[in-house]
Structure 1
Amino acid sequence: MNSQVRQQGGADGTVGKALEVLDQVADKGRPVRFSELLAETSHPKATLYRLLQTLTNQGMLAYDEDRQTYAPGLRLVRLAHSAWRQSSLAPVARPYLTALAQKVGETIHLAQLDRGQVLYVDKMNAAEPIEMFSQAGKVGPGYCTGVGKAMMAFLDADDRQDAINRQAYFAHTPNTLTTPDALAAELDRIKAEGVSYDREEHEPGIICIAAPILSSTGRVIGALSITTSTSRQSFDGLEQHRAALLRTAQDIAGAAESWQFPT
């Protein structure tokens, strides 16, 4: 969402600019000073200050006078929880994630697609957690993650091409797919096989098997992955979980049929 909001900020006027600043603060993952925000924004100093004041007055940001820092506010937290309940697949899927995590003993991710990028909406850690990038609420790349590729593979032709065009193709590891053509070929394979893999494409040593979660009409509503490390598991070991993964994806899709998914 981050880059898209920034690209659209000018076109959306004051609201777009305010969302851009809100996104900038949230991206830091810690309280941030005005000087840091000013160094990274295209807004004039007076405009940035006015936007921060408005966001703070509305409770979307909180200002710490002692430290002189900004952080997400309680109103934003309430909105985030409401979005999680109403617009996220996570509440519906949670019991199925728990059961799958207990069955396979590995980390389980639940994700949805946001403008070609992966939004992690829930995560169940293994009994012995592995340090990795993904956390609930984080946005990750679509082109080099198992869940991202699983969702893109099952989009209709126009949406798939749009998602392919939105990728950065930065080489995170030697295994990362770095061209649209390579990604398109990979997505064709995934659609034929029904599952995708992360072959240490985003983080060294991290691998996964992933499957899309599809509505009864075939619309992509999310994806599910079983993630581990090369020090604990091989691809052959992950492949043994394929049936459980696909069954869980189908169970979540079935449970979510009555839920009104955002389009």
Structure 2
Amino acid sequence: MTSVERNDGTVGKALSVLDQIASYGRPVRFGELLADSDMPKATLYRFVQTLTNQGMLQYEPERQTYAPGLRLVRLAHAAWAQSSLAPVARLHVDALSAETGETVHLAQLDHAQVLYVDKRNARDPVEMFSQAGKVGPAYCTGVGKAMLAFLPEPELQTALAQQSWHQFTSATHGSAVSLQRELAEIREEGLSFDREEHEIGIVCVAVPILNSQSRPLGALSVTGTTRRTNLDALRNLGPRLKQAAAAIARDAESWLFPRTSAQPTPQNNGEMSHVRSDA
């Protein structure tokens, strides 16, 4: 469901235009946007001009094309530093990559899809879909299933309703019913596997990164190719992955909820004021 479908008004429509332009993966002409949009020409043009004026889009006059603007780069960097697990998890991801020699992924859920927020390549890198900043399906990736398995039931049902159920390979889940059986196994074992469900020849083991309320903050995986590893070998990495995920969760809790120097204390009049905790 898009922002426009949720009736988020002007802001939602503007963001949908940004999403549309970003989805091309290249500079795009206004005519192409119009052909793929359900907005009237005048409305779409107004949004494009406003986004360009605000630096959210960049216009190339010679080619008459639009592309995501540099203001988005600044915002993306701020979001990566303040909202993603990547800065907190970096040392743990580095250590895991050095130990295993395989590709390590760090991911979070973004509107029921997987957002890869960090990645370390294997010693012998292999071309694969996942890259930091890329969005992938949750229902057929190890990290996605690891996070889905630990969502509260209402949120899980909402997320399942947003999956495409596209059949990438013969191993891909084709419905929520078959996936939910596996999610129950993941909750039991604490391990999730990608059995060539998204890409032929790519397998992985993943674990959720859970906060103190057992809600998923993200997921961590070790990924390899079927020509040099197998699911049994990846399963053996489970304890180490769980250890790293627990360490990331502890660090994230301190990062998300730091001890501040100002603590509220009750006063005689029943109101709250702030005093320094080190006073």
Report the TM-score when normalising by structure 1.
0.94
> Which of 165, 170, 177 is 2:173 aligned to?
177
Structure 1 segments (4+ residues) deviating >4 Å: none
> Following TM superposition, by how much is the alpha carbon of 1:260 offset from its aligned partner in structure 2, in angstroms?
2.3
Contact 2:2–2:16 (8 Å) recurs in 1: no
Match of 2:5 in 1: 7
> Following TM superposition, by how much is the alpha carbon of 1:115 offset from its aligned partner in structure 2, in angstroms?
2.3
> Which of 62, 69, 73 is 1:73 aligned to?
69
Q: Within 5 A, what are the aligned runs for 1:203-218?
A: 203-218=199-214
Q: Secondary structure at the match of 1:224?
A: strand
Structure 1 CA distance for aligned equivalents of residues 2 and 127 of structure 2: 28
Which stretch shows the higher mean deviation, 98-107 or 42-51?
A: 42-51
Match of 1:202 in 2: 198
CA deviation digits over 1:162-184, x for unaligned, max 9? 22222111111000001111011
Query: Given the alignment of the two structures, is residue 57 of structure 1 paired with residue 53 of structure 2, yes or no?
Result: yes
**Larger RCO: 1 or 2 (CA < 8 Å, sep 6+):** 1
> Following TM superposition, by how much is the alpha carbon of 1:28 offset from its aligned partner in structure 2, in angstroms?
1.5
Unaligned runs of 5+ in 2: 258-279
The alignment-based identity, stated in percent, is: 60
Q: Secondary structure at the match of 1:258?
A: helix
2:30 is matched by which residue type in structure 1?
Answer: F
Contact 1:211–1:246 (8 Å) recurs in 2: yes
CA RMSD of aligned residues (A): 1.2
> Which of 238, 243, 252 is 1:242 aligned to?
238
> Following TM superposition, by how much is the alpha carbon of 1:6 offset from its aligned partner in structure 2, in angstroms?
4.9
Match of 1:167 in 2: 163
Match of 2:152 in 1: 156
Structure 2 CA distance for aligned equivalents of residues 254 and 14 of structure 1: 39
Q: Within 5 A, what are the aligned runs for 1:1-263?
A: 3-8=1-6, 11-260=7-256
Structure 1 CA distance for aligned equivalents of residues 193 and 59 of structure 2: 43
Contact 1:164–1:183 (8 Å) recurs in 2: no
> Following TM superposition, by how much is the alpha carbon of 1:7 offset from its aligned partner in structure 2, in angstroms?
3.0
Structure 2 CA distance for aligned equivalents of residues 232 and 31 of structure 1: 39
1:182 is matched by which residue type in structure 2?
Answer: S
Q: Which has the higher helix share?
A: 1
Unaligned runs of 5+ in 1: none
Which structure's CA Rg is the greater one?
Answer: 2
> Following TM superposition, by how much is the alpha carbon of 1:214 offset from its aligned partner in structure 2, in angstroms?
0.5
Contact 1:213–1:221 (8 Å) recurs in 2: yes
CA deviation digits over 1:45-68, x for unaligned, max 9? 221111111000000010111121
